[in-house]
Amino acid sequence: MSHEFPLVLVEWFDSSEPFENAEVDIPEGIPEPQRILSVGHMVRETDEYVTLVGGWKPDVRVADYVISIVKSAIVGRIERLERISVLSKIE
């Protein structure tokens, strides 16, 4: 059975810490959330989240690099792609 999933770009914010198990001075050391650009095949979309797949392993019929992103963290809209210039999104 064949499935077709759209290729999308999702811009979203993720939590962050300055380093693993960080103890920080307040308020100087408080980290900002990280802006993330994720590109992948959108395999699921619900009212609460979207799920992207970054890679496929056809020989063993599994998806790889799978991430579900809550919609409340998404900035703007989910952009469907034919091709992408990531550098233009970073600037």
- Tell me: the pLDDT tens digits for 1-19? 357 889 999 999 998 877 7
Tell me: the pLDDT tens digits for 21-53? 677 788 888 888 999 999 999 999 999 999 999
The whole model's pTM is what?
0.78
Residue pair 18/31 in contact by the 8 Å Cβ criterion: yes
The pLDDT assigned to 58 comes to 83
Task: Identify the residue with better confidence: 29 or 86.
Answer: 29
Give the domain ranges of the chain.
Answer: 7-90
- CA–CA separation, 60 and 81 (whole Å): 27
What does the pLDDT average to over 47-73? 93
The pLDDT assigned to 89 comes to 56
Q: Which of 14, 12, 8 is nearest to 78 (CA)?
A: 8
Q: Which of 17, 18, 13, 30 is nearest to 76 (CA)?
A: 13
Is the pLDDT reported for residue 83 higher than 80?
A: no
